[in-house]
């Protein structure tokens, strides 16, 4: 380390000297060199011995120093210092100093030579000697350096001898002359070594001291730098931490703000949820209140078919407690006797049904409605509604009984009258006069009308109860028509009516209540006969049309006034012209006919023109196979 | 030998009219004025009647009950029954059919002549 520092110091010194040399000394030396070469006579004058001496010395030294030192420092130290070892540099520096000394010696030699008389060859001789010595300074080897220096010295001596420019008076003896020369040479070497050691020690010590100081200085600087760097790093770290901290705080602030916002939003949501909850609770309470107080029984089955809710009415119906049935499936309920009829109606899969009756007990009939509860197309449960129809059924039964009884009670005397009159008219109760027969006939007819009226009223009652059709069966409409027509043959003949019955060879069957359809056709035929002119026409057509059976009956009767046509199918209605023609009539016939046709799934309509005739149409669906 | 007809009917006039009509045609007509009497006579009569003309609405025992009792009796269940009634409810007609009635005549729809025709068709 120290040696490195010394190297650097040397380099610094060399650079400083070089700078000085380049800027001041070299230009001066060049100037003097020019004078020396081209105006040597200036220096020749013994008149100015001191000036001569100084100038010669100076010039000489400077020229040589300039050349060599520049060369030396530039080439060797500056450029090659990194390749040289410390010892090499040390030696080179010493040599450069020695070289300086040598230069001084040479200068002295030159001066002294001048005093002896100028020799033109002195300068070139000295130059040659230096040139020869040059490799000595440049060589890294001590032996080589000394050898070259010795050679150059010898060369110098030789040339001095040749050209006679010794610095001191010489012995006359050639041997002494040589001995003196060698003595000077070895003296010179000794001086060189002494000076070298002295210089190295001094110089080295100085450099060591300087190096130490430099080293210490550099150490301190290094430590300082390190510390500074550390402090810088710490400072930077602190800055980074501060920045990070700031960033973290900013982040934390941001997060806090976000949390605040989220909190506010959450509070709002919670408030909304609370509001919704309260609303839902209110609705639920309302619903529960409705359910609890509903007069119909309500059972809610969950998606698995188990009871999740029943209302108090169900407990009353089946004489059970909620706890006994909630959680049970429909099949479990079948174990409870009163529930069995319900289970039979709905089945284990809780099928969808609408108002199906189930007799629970003697005193309880319930109408069952099963509604699947759907959410997003998926069944989530079933709602069963049980409506107590016991009273309605009882009333229905009573009504039915009343109607039956009334019909029976009304018919009983009428049938007695009918049968009696008929027996009279048939001669079973003795001979009657014509006049008696005539009266009895009229009475018989009146009785018949009364019977018909009662029948019509009975039918209307049944229609309004919705239990008109009894048991529809597969039937041939053609034969039903024919049967009705056959029963009116007499009437048709009496009025001399032309009658046509158009029917295809075969017609699809229909599913009808034969008695009721016969009645419907009978009512239409009766009207066609009753309100027809004598000698008029009646045509009945049966056909299949547009997938249905179509019946039409056309007459050439009185027709229906246009302004009364919209009331034709209403109860007790009789057109004014009909009443004028035939006072008898209940006005219920077409009402009953319309209800019969519609109860079979058909349609009825008519076309009529007053004074020309009427055509009634009705359709019936073809029986499905 | 004349065919025997048991007429079970509570209305006197109907009894008189029907008895007159049927007797005129050579039928031997027996009368019971309620269901109970009718059943008793059925059981007592030997040989059994060839036909029973049975009303539905009667005191003591109605026509349906008579038919139910007749069904239980081996000797009586084979006797043909024609119901003559003023009721015409389809449910009653069905019930009568199930109990074995051969026909149902609504009195207001039919007259004694037509009843006679039905009787002739049934027993000749």
Residue of B18, B108, B113 with shortest CB distance to A426? B113
Tell me which chain B residues have a C-beta less than 8 angstroms from the C-beta of A465.
none
Residue numbers in B near A455 (CB within 8 A):
108
Structure-token pair, residue A312: 């108090």
Burial class (CB in 10 A: 0-12, 13-18, 19+), B39: buried
Chain B residue numbers touching A515 (CB-CB < 8 A): 90
Cβ neighbours of A446 in B, within 8 Å: none
Count of CB contacts below 8 A, A vs B?
64
Q: CA of A423: which chain B residue's CA is closest? A: B112
pLDDT at residue A582, rounded to an integer: 74
CA-based nearest residue to A384, from A286, A284, A317: A317
Model confidence at A580, in pLDDT bands (50, 70, 90)? confident
Give pLDDT tens digits for A112-141: 555 444 444 455 555 555 555 555 455 545
Query: For the residues B37-54, what does the mean pLDDT come to?
Result: 93
Average pLDDT of chain B, as a whole number? 91
Contact (CB<8Å) A419/B111: yes
**How many residues can be counted in chain B?**
124
First CA to last CA distance, chain A:
122
Question: Which tokens in the block code for residue A487?
Answer: 């029963």
Nearest to A471 among B87, B90, B111 (CB): B90
Three-class SS state of A400? helix
- pLDDT for A560 equals 93
How many alpha carbons fall within 13 Å on the CB side of residue A548? Answer: 15
Host H or E run for residue A231: helix A174-293
A585 pLDDT band (50/70/90 cuts)?
confident
Q: Give the DSSP per-residue string, A325-366.
A: HTT-BHHHHTTSGGGHHHHHHHTTTT--EEEEEEEEETTEEE
What residue in A sits closest to B18 (Cα-Cα)? A419
Residue A219: count other Cβ atoms within 10 Å of its Cβ: 13
d(CA A253, CA A246): 10
CA of A450, closest CA in chain B: separation in Å? Answer: 10
Q: Is B59 near chain A, with CB under 8 Å? A: no
Least confident of A27-31, B25-29, B64-68: A27-31
A interface with B, Cβ–Cβ below 8 Å: 400, 404, 407-408, 411-412, 414-416, 418-420, 422-423, 426, 428-429, 451, 454-455, 458, 470-471, 515
The Cα A4–Cα B119 span in angstroms is: 158
Using a CB-CB distance cutoff of 8 angstroms, which residues of chain B are in contact with residue A416?
Answer: 11, 13-14, 17
Minimal Cβ distance to B86: which of A407, A428, A470: A407
Measured in degrees and rounded to the nearest 5, phi and psi for residue A474 equal: -70, 125
CA distance linking residue A592 with residue A578, whole number of Å: 18
Contact flag A408-B111 (C-beta cutoff 8 Å): no
Q: What is the mean pLDDT of residues A400-410?
A: 76
pLDDT tens digits along A525-542: 999 999 998 999 999 999
Residue A110 above 50 pLDDT? yes
C-alpha torsion sign, points A229, A234, A235, A240 = positive
Instruction: Give the residue ranges of DSSP H helices in chain B.
Output: 12-24, 35-44, 63-72, 90-98, 112-123
- A454 pLDDT tier (thresholds 50, 70, 90): confident
Look at A428 and B112 and tell me if their CB atoms are within 8 Å: yes
- pLDDT for the residue numbered A614: 96
Of A446, A445, A441, A447, the closest CA to residue A415 belongs to A447
Q: Which of A408, A423, A470 sits opposite B86 (nearest CB)?
A: A408
Contacts of A408 in chain B (CB under 8 A): 57, 85-87
Q: What is the pLDDT of residues A170-226, one digit of tens each?
A: 555 555 555 555 556 555 655 655 555 555 555 556 666 666 777 777 788 878 888
Interchain contact, A412 vs B86, CB within 8 Å? yes
Residue A570, number of CB atoms within 10 A of its CB = 12
């Amino acid at each position: 380390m120290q040696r490195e520092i010394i190297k650097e110091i040397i380099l610094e010194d060399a650079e400083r000297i070089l700078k000085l040399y380049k800027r001041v000394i070299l230009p001066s030396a060049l100037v003097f060199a020019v004078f020396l070469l081209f105006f040597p006579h200036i220096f020749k004058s013994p008149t100015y011995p001191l000036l001569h001496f100084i100038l010669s010395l100076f010039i000489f030294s400077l020229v040589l120093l300039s050349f060599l030192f520049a060369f030396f420092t530039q080439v060797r130290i500056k450029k090659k210092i990194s390749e040289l070892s410390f010892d090499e540099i040390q030696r080179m520096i010493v040599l450069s100093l020695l070289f300086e000394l040598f230069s001084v010696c040479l200068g002295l030699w030159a001066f002294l030579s001048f005093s002896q008389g100028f020799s033109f060859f002195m300068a070139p001789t000295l130059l040659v000697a230096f040139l020869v010595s040059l490799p000595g300074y440049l060589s890294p080897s001590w032996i080589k350096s000394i050898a070259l220096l010795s050679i150059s010295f010898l060369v110098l001596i030789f040339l001095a001898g040749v050209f006679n420019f010794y610095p001191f008076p010489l012995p006359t003896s050639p041997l002494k002359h040589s001995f003196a020369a060698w003595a000077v040479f070895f003296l010179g070497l000794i001086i060189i070594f002494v000076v070298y050691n002295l210089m190295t020690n001094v110089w080295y010590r100085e450099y060591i001291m300087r190096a130490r100081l430099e080293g210490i200085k550099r150490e301190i600087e290094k430590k300082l730098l390190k510390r500074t760097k550390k402090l810088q790093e710490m400072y930077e770290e602190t800055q980074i931490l501060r920045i990070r901290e700031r960033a973290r705080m900013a982040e934390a602030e941001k997060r806090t703000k976000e949390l605040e916002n989220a909190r506010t939003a959450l509070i709002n949501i919670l408030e909304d949820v609370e509001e919704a909850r309260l609303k839902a609770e209110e609705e639920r309470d309302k619903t529960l209140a409705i359910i609890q107080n509903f007069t119909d029984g309500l059972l809610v089955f969950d998606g698995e078919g188990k009871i999740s809710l029943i209302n108090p009415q169900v407990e009353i119906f089946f004489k059970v407690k909620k706890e006994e049935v909630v959680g049970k499936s429909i099949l479990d309920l079948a174990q409870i006797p009163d529930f069995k009829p319900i289970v039979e109606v709905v089945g284990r899969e809780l099928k969808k049904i609408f108002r199906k009756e189930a007799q629970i007990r003697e005193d309880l009939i319930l109408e069952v409605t099963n509604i699947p509860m759907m959410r997003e197309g998926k069944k989530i449960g079933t709602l069963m509604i049980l409506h107590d129809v016991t009273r309605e059924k009882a009333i229905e039964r009573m009504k039915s009984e009343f109607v039956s009884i009334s019909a029976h009670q009304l018919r009983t005397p009428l049938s007695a009258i009918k049968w009696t009159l008929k027996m009279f008219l048939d001669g079973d109760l003795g001979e009657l006069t014509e006049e008696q027969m005539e009266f009895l006939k009229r009475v018989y007819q009146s009785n018949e009308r009364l019977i018909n009226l009662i029948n019509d009223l009975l039918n209307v009652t049944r229609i309004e109860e919705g239990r008109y059709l009894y048991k529809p069966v597969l039937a041939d409409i053609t034969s039903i028509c024919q049967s009705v027509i056959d029963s009116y043959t007499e009437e048709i003949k009496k009025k001399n009516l032309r009658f046509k019955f158009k029917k295809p060879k075969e017609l699809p069957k229909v599913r009808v209540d034969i008695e009721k359809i016969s009645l419907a056709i009978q009512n239409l035929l009766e009207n066609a006969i009753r309100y027809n002119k004598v000698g008029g026409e009646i045509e009945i057509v049966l056909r299949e049309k547009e997938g249905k059976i179509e019946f039409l009956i056309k007459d050439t009767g009185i027709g229906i006034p246009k302004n009364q046509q919209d009331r034709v199918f209403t109860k007790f209605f009789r057109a004014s012209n009909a009443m004028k023609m035939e006072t008898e009539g209940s006005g219920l016939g077409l009402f009953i006919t319309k209800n019969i046709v519609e109860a079979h799934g058909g349609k009825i309509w008519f076309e009529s023109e007053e004074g020309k005739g009427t055509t009634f149409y009705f359709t019936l669906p073809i029986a499905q196979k | 030998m004349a065919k025997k007809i048991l007429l079970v009917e509570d209305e006197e006039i109907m009894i008189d009219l029907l008895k007159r009509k049927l007797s005129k045609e050579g039928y031997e007509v027996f009368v019971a004025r309620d269901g109970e009497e009718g059943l008793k006579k059925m059981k007592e009569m030997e040989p059994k009647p060839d036909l029973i003309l049975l009303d539905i609405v009667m005191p003591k025992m109605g026509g349906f009950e008579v038919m139910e009792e007749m069904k239980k009796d081996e000797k009586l269940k084979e006797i043909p029954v024609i119901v003559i009634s003023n009721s015409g409810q389809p449910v009653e007609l069905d019930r009568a059919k199930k109990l074995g009635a051969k026909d149902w005549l609504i009195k207001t729809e039919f007259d004694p002549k037509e009843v006679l025709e039905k009787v002739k068709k049934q027993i000749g």
